[in-house]
């Protein structure tokens, strides 16, 4: 089991240059994703407003959307407003979100983030990347999820799937999500940023799986460095 795991990790080794066939065929890659995943243009995290999506995205770190969607309906019934979260009891909130993992940090971040919004932004959700990333516990990925799904902006969302697949394809050689985001912004036309992110996530859940990518049936095989090197 251990050997199998290390073999998989070995094949996902780090390169120092991007893979030209992937970059020069980015239009075809985008077209493929558009055709295969036409409906995957939004987050699968349940939410009714920007702050709920922010909370759900914080909870989704090191977890799955499916698990988070089981927790949030009850959570948002109990804590209805930003002020409710700002005034939440830390230990109680920890218990409320425990099943999503890393619950101590997440509970602290959610409360402090809600306090930032009530204290610095008059209780209103910021709608730009600078203000969103100034909130406690909010990084660029979380901020971009909100900007794309609530404020209809174009942004590249670098989650675990986008990070893994953009490396496998050879669109980036970086492992740091922020560097990957800026690499992809240079390659992908801005009008495609948001849809590309969501569709690549859907592709990562169905074909380019983390442990066992299904390269033999993958429509991107001929443009993909990992596929060319491992099949
Ligand atoms: Fe992923 Fe394999 Fe397809 Fe490359 S060829 S994108 S590694 S499934």
Please indicate, yes or no, if residue 72 is contained in any of the structural domains: yes
Give domain status of residue 1, yes or no.
no
Domain ranges, residue 222:
10-41+155-230
Q: Within a domain: residue 89?
A: yes
The predicted pLDDT at position 33 comes to 98
Q: Flag whether 219 is in a domain.
A: yes
Q: Is residue 4 part of a domain?
A: no
Predicted pLDDT of residue 13: 73
In a domain, 104, yes or no: yes
* Residue 3 located in a structural domain: no
Burial state string for 109-134 with b = 16 or more CB within 10 A and e = fewer than 16 = bbbbbbbbbbeebeeebbeeeebbee
According to DSSP H, which parts of the chain are helical?
A: 2-11, 20-24, 26-36, 50-60, 65-78, 82-86, 90-97, 103-120, 129-133, 140-149, 160-169, 177-187, 193-206, 225-230
What pTM does this model have?
Answer: 0.93
Looking at the structure, do residues 201 and 218 belong to the same domain, yes or no?
A: yes
Give the 3-state DSSP-derived string for 10-46, with helices as H, strands as E and coil as C: HHCCCCCCCCHHHHHCHHHHHHHHHHHCCCCCCCCCC
Of 159, 163, 183, 195, the active-site residue reads 159
**Whether residues 112 and 165 fall in one domain:** no
Does the CB atom of residue 148 touch ligand 1 within 6 A? no
Residue nearest to atom 1 of ligand 1 (CA): 208
Quote the distance between the C-alpha of residue 40 and its chain's center: 14
| pLDDT of the chain, 231 residues: tens digit per residue | 444 444 445 567 788 999 999 999 999 999 999 999 999 999 999 999 999 999 999 999 999 999 999 999 999 999 999 999 999 999 999 999 999 999 999 999 999 999 999 999 999 999 999 999 999 999 999 999 999 999 999 999 999 999 999 999 999 999 999 999 999 999 999 999 999 999 999 999 999 999 999 999 999 999 999 999 998
Phi-psi region of 170 (alpha: psi -120 to 50; beta: other; left: phi over 0): left
The verdict on whether 5 is a catalytic residue reads no
Task: Tell whether ligand 1 has an atom less than 6 A from the beta carbon of residue 226.
Answer: yes
Q: Which atom of ligand 1 is nearest to the CA of 215?
A: 2
- Look at residue 11 in the predicted model and tell me its pLDDT: 65
- Of 120, 149, 178, the position where a domain reaches its end is 149
Q: Which of 149, 172, 205 is the last residue of a domain?
A: 149
221 lines ligand 1 (CB under 6 A): yes
Measure 190 CA to ligand 1 centroid, in angstroms.
Answer: 24
Q: What is the CATH number of the domain that holds 67?
A: 1.10.340.30
Closest atom of ligand 1 relative to the 220 alpha carbon: 3
CATH, residue 162: 1.10.1670.10
Number of domains in the chain: 2
Active site residue 84: no
Could you say which of 149, 170, 204 is where a domain stops?
149
In terms of Cα–Cα distance, which of 219, 171, 195 is closest to 43?
Answer: 195
| Statement to judge: residues 136 and 61 lie in one domain | yes
Do residue 74 and residue 142 come from a single domain?
A: yes
């Amino acid at each position: 089991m251990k050997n199998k795991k290390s073999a998989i990790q070995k094949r996902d080794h780090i390169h120092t240059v991007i893979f030209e066939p992937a970059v020069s065929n980015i239009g075809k890659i985008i077209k493929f994703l558009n055709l295969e995943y036409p409906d995957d243009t939004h987050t699968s995290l349940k939410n009714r407003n920007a702050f709920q999506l922010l909370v759900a995205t914080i909870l989704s770190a090191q977890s799955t959307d499916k698990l988070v969607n089981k927790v949030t309906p009850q959570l948002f019934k109990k804590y209805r407003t930003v002020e409710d979260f700002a005034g939440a009891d830390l230990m109680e909130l920890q218990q409320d979100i425990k099943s999503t993992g890393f619950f101590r940090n997440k509970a602290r971040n959610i409360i402090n983030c809600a306090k930032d919004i009530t204290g610095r932004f008059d209780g209103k959700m910021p709608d730009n990347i600078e203000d969103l990333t100034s909130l406690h516990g909010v990084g660029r990925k979380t901020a971009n999820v909100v900007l794309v799904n609530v404020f209809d902006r174009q942004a590249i969302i670098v989650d675990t799937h986008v990070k893994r697949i953009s490396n496998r394809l050879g669109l980036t050689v970086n492992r740091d999500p922020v560097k990957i985001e800026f690499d992809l912004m240079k390659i992908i036309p801005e009008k495609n940023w948001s849809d590309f992110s969501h569709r690549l996530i859907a592709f990562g859940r169905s074909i380019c799986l983390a442990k066992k990518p299904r390269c033999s049936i993958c429509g991107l095989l001929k443009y993909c460095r990992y596929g060319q090197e491992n099949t």
